[in-house]
A and B are shown apart, each in its own frame.
Chain A
Amino acid sequence: MTVAPEFSDVDVPEGYVKLTVDGEEVVAPKGELLIRTAERLGTVIPRFCDHPLLDPAGACRQCLVEVEMNGRAMPKPQASCTMTVADGMVVKTQVTSEVADKAQQGVMELLLINHPLDCPICDKGGECPLQNQAMAHGRTDSRFVDKKRTFPKPLPISSQVLLDRERCVLCQRCTRFSDQIAGDPFIELLERGSHQQIGTAETADVLDAASHTSSGQPFQSYFSGNTIQICPVGALTSSQYRFRSRPFDLVSTPSVCEHCSSGCAERTDFRRGKVMRKLAGEDPDVNEEWICDKGRFAFRYAAAEQRIRRPLVRSAETGELEEVSWTEALRAAADGLVKARDGKGAGVLPGGRVTLEDAYSYGKFARMALRTHDVDHRARAHSDEELDFLASRVVSDGGPAGGGVTFADLEAAPVALCVAFEPEEESPAVFLRLRKGARAGDVKVVHIGQWASPAVDKTFGELLACPPGGEADAVEGIAEHAPDLDEALRADGAVVLVGERAAEVPGLPTALHHLAERTGARLAWIPRRAGERGAVEAGTLPTLLPGGRPVADADARAEVERHWGLEAGTLPAEPGRDVTGMLNAIVTRDLGGLLVGGVDLDDLPDPALARKAFDAAEFVVSLELLPSTVTPYADVVLPIAPVDEKGGTFVNWEGRRRPFTVTLDGTGALTDCRVLDTLGVEMDTDLFTQTPDAALGDLDRLGAPKGTGAAKGTSGALSAPKGTLGALNAPKVPLGAPTAPPTPGSGQALLATWRQLVDDGSLQIDEPALAGTARRVVARMSRATADGLGDHVTVSTGRGSVTLPVEITDMPDGVVWLPGNAPDAKLRATLGAGHGAVVDIAGGDR
């Protein structure tokens, strides 16, 4: 006689139920799926369609189990991935139930009927859930003897994703991901019966045609790579990784994405010293399990043929850069910088892609070796107002631990206001969180921009359209013109997200500061580059020392001087010059030398001024990975390591530290901090930043400004009265005031622009498959603005012109939108103009 399970012994808390799984009594939260309950008990039920971050579908039927409810067995086995737990339920998995086991074997046999079993040539082979589960839960022999259904293969559904319909088990993970998570439903289930298949509108037409025919609207999504990763069979494969290696060849290292400021967790797989692919890592606090295609596919720049691998020094005789030894190059660099420093001075431009450690080293190098505050990492449009904004609102926000806005806050915010920020293009992980929150109905997303970009649609958002440059007025006008939004922003947890474009709009940082003060909404600054936030923390700004200490503060300077072992009063009391200030100073012969990190002159607000300044500079040292626009002007080029070959820490926009270790060890490439340390020694200055660990240790010992630690720890939300902060950290209110945008005359328009995720960026070289998924390059304008222009528009300034096809878009009149850095439209380089500038428009020919 079997003993009935004793249900009375265990307490069931509120919101939980008690059930029996494989004879074991278990308490589970209401709404939990059976498949997860079993997993918690250590029983893995085979599955294909089930994914914790996607809605349940019950499509593959692989997870069948026997279920008994109220003492009565259900007549057929049930899919455990769609059934939630209930009180008194008795579940028998394949472990205890022969019925369930037989049902699972039967489903597996069915799924394999039309599967081509071409594992030897399949990229998924060796890491394939179908392969593994067929071994674990399938029959050893197939009873199927007829001809299998075949499809032409592989079918490119975009330049990046290849579809093999024979291998597909129709689990719909890819379609559900595209529909639910990314919001780009370009692939769907088509046809019926044994012809059921995944496809796009256009793959349906080529059912019987030869493969390799793709045109029209491809599977254009910035997140399409995730479908490859979650495909439980080899039906979706990557054209970049096609046939490159096998799982057992690969060594995997956890890493952090180096592209945008989200700092997504990644897994980097390499073989014989070469990175083969990157996969999304799992980090519930940051990127969950998703990454964008840029993070996944753009990594071959580090292995580019033209990479600088030996130090170069410009020869006095020939005027050409020549390969020399490290000792010789460092000597030349040190001599030149000492001469420049002792003459008119030298400045530092680290660029926005540095790690926290490298940024700290650049800042320390500027202050100790070059004895100046002339250091600015902002290789983009910038303003003094932004500088104050960063000092008062960003660097002091405390990060995730100190009450700063986090990814989780985005998902739970009652309202998220995006100002001068294009989440999908500039920080895709933020976009996914906003969409997740909005889809659940929790977050109301409001965008202040020029046109309803795909991100506005996909976050179910509302657009408050304004002319470029008018964002400040729009923010100031919220109370008057959008009282409901103003009210919503006063709610607990409301956030305002601001992008790096804010620096281009006079008055916007001030307006945002006022908005946050007035409504109590929390501000988050989401720059585009991975290193920007860390560089702010590390003090590579003319007005900030490490840890957010203002240069103008004597106590702060004294504290840093003590820590760095400098004599009191060594650090200048006057703030340094920003990027434009430095460039102007070189042109006017007030500054002699430059030490430049990863800066592209065409990213700077005025590339022409930059070129003039670099040409006029007495001495330029460039720390670079690849030949850049700086290289022709450099006197010494020192090669440094790409992220794969070094360790370090990125600080993401939240202020969260994202440490990563070396992936490719022993390549001999040096980190920026190591090069700067050695260069410092050559200049008779010890930076103590030989390794990233040493640099980070040095920064951490310096710590937060004294006297503000307690305030920072308890202040929590940014809206805490600033008076509670120590005098050292007291924010200055940004100085700018909203100014009306210039009004364009006839034949003119205001330029609106931002950079797209996949464009002509220097970290995306050698990636033709990725480039193929870029959005179509068009100029956008309203019907009234485009009136009489024709199909193409030529946008010009005094410097040059760009001609692009016109796409009529619902946006304010007198405004033209262009992508910032598309292959055919490199705006800064050709126009020398940015967001909010007045440009000439005319009908163009192509």
Chain B
Amino acid sequence: MGIFDPVKGFGVTFGMMFKKVATEEYPEIGAPAAPRYHGRHQLNRHPDGLEKCVGCELCAWACPADAIFVEGGDNTEEERYSPGERYGADYQINYLRCIGCGLCVEACPTRSLTMINFYELADDNRQDLIWTKEDLLAPLLPGMEQPPHPMRLGDNEQDYYVGGPALARGRGVPEQETVETDTEEAVR
């Protein structure tokens, strides 16, 4: 061990002081995930606010961890939550079980279920980690209204699936505003 070794050690320390800091101040400042990080799920909406989920349970079927529970319901003319006949009456994801694999997102036939990059899924009790439909539904963007309400963008669900975003523009949503709830802007 040489006589200058202790000083050399401090040299490394001092040297680091002038380099870029890699440490992230979490949770005080926060740490955004990569833009395409798969965090928690979100149930998206059509541009008029109706839910995209049809309660088909394909996500629950695909889930390897049995984390999803869905129960379908019957839309009526008086009480409509989604275009078409069927909507998801009960939707629960158990984040104690979810392994974030994203198979549910792949299974979703209406692109209702997507993942956003929110990842703070920790809690001190089990009950609060079962997220229900209210927690998972995307926020209402401009031009959307809280269901139940009648179909605003067409006469049947075909109109929604074929030309939903374009029809929403017709209803006065400005060009630069998004009508998709599953983009990153929507998360912000």
Binding site for B on A (CB under 8 A): 120-121, 125-126, 153-154, 212, 242-246, 248-249
Contact = CB atoms under 8 A, between A and B. Distances in A.
B116 interface: no
Contacts of A243: 55, 72-74, 85-86, 89
A121 B86 contact: yes
B58 interface: yes
Contacts of B84: 121
29 contacts: A120-B54, A120-B56, A120-B58, A120-B109, A120-B110, A121-B54, A121-B55, A121-B56, A121-B85, A121-B86, A125-B56, A126-B61, A153-B85, A154-B85, A212-B77, A242-B74, A243-B55, A243-B72, A243-B85, A243-B89, A244-B71, A244-B72, A245-B71, A245-B72, A246-B57, A246-B60, A246-B61, A248-B57, A248-B61
A249 B57 CA distance: 9
Contacts of B56: 120-121, 125
Interface of B: 54-58, 60-61, 71-74, 77, 84-86, 89, 109-110
Contacts of B110: 120
Contacts of B77: 212
Contacts of B85: 121, 153-154, 243
Contacts of B73: 243
Given A243-B55, A243-B74, 5 more contacts: A212-B77, A243-B72, A243-B86, A245-B72, A249-B60
A818 B61 CA distance: 51
The interface centre, meaning the residue of A242, A243, A244 with most chain B CB atoms within 10 A of its CB, is A243
Nearest to A210: B77
Q: Is the interface of A mostly helix, strand, loop or mixed?
A: loop
Residue of A126, A245, A246 ringed by the most chain B CB atoms within 10 A: A246
A126 B58 CA distance: 10
A246 B58 CA distance: 9
B106 to A, nearest CB: 14
Contacts of B89: 243
A786 B84 CA distance: 51
A249 B59 CA distance: 12
Contacts of B61: 126, 246, 248
A16 B10 CA distance: 101
* Leading 10 A-B pairs by shortest Cβ distance: A243-B72, A120-B56, A121-B86, A120-B109, A246-B57, A121-B54, A243-B86, A243-B74, A242-B74, A248-B61
B99 to A, nearest CB: 19
A120 B86 CA distance: 10
Contacts of A154: 85
A216 B96 CA distance: 53
Nearest to B110: A120
Contacts of A120: 54, 56, 58, 109-110
Contacts of A121: 54-56, 72, 84-86
Contacts of A212: 77
A153 B73 CA distance: 16
A489 B106 CA distance: 68
Nearest to B57: A246
Contacts of B54: 120-121
Residue among A120, A212, A242, A245 with max Cβ neighbours from chain B (10 Å): A120
A518 B74 CA distance: 61
B85 to A, nearest CB: 6
A240 to B, nearest CB: 11
A541 to B, nearest CB: 47
A120 B58 CA distance: 7
Nearest to B82: A121
Contacts of A153: 85
